[in-house]
């Protein structure tokens, strides 16, 4: 949805969005109106959305890859609940691009194992460096629309997509980098 949304998705594709801190950016206001126009409920608290127990999975799309620093309220308590449910296998979590709270290059810096470790990581455009630290589940890449000049400029080595598929599963992505160091 956006960099400030946590979306909780039911298996039947009923969606609820938790958007705890309304920003001043008109783009986010437009996204909220779009969600509401599509019949997607938007809540300011996790409890108002029915609590974690009422969902079959969670989509973590809170912060973008440029996020730095400590997670502040109200996001900290929501992410702590999601991380605990994911660790206890009570709720599958799918993170978009970079799991919330992770450093884009170094991965989970919580240091105490309480960070978010989703069951699936969905990288957009290209896997971010932190994806080499992702060990808790399946890894997918979406977006085969990178112009050749960008691929060359950044020396991106992306997988081959099958047919017209827009998503590819990345098996063992980043393992070759780990093996180089051993």
More reliable by pLDDT, 66 or 54: 54
**Where in the sequence is the domain holding 32, given as residue range(s)?**
5-180
Check whether 35 has a pLDDT greater than 80.
Answer: yes
Token output for 73? 């309220």
More reliable by pLDDT, 112 or 103: 103
pLDDT of residue 93: 94
Provide the CATH number for the domain around residue 165: 3.40.50.10260
Count how many domains the chain has: 1
Q: What is the pTM of this model?
A: 0.83
């Amino acid at each position: 949805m956006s960099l400030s949304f946590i979306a909780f998705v039911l298996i039947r594709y009923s969606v609820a969005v938790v958007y705890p801190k309304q920003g001043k950016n008109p783009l986010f206001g437009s996204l909220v109106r779009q969600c509401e126009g599509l019949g997607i409920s938007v809540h300011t608290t996790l409890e108002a959305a029915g609590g974690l127990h009422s969902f079959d999975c969670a989509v973590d799309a809170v912060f973008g890859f440029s996020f730095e620093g400590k997670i502040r309220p109200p996001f900290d308590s929501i992410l702590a609940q999601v991380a605990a449910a994911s660790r206890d296998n009570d709720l599958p979590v799918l993170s978009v691009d970079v799991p919330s709270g992770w450093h884009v290059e170094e991965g989970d810096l919580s240091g105490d194992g309480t960070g978010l470790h989703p069951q699936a990581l969905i990288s957009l455009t290209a896997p971010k460096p932190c994806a080499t630290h992702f060990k808790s589940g399946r890894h997918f890449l979406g977006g085969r629309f990178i112009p050749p000049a960008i691929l060359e400029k950044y020396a991106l080595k992306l997988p081959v997509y099958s047919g017209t598929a827009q998503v590819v599963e990345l098996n063992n992505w980043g393992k070759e980098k780990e093996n180089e160091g051993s």
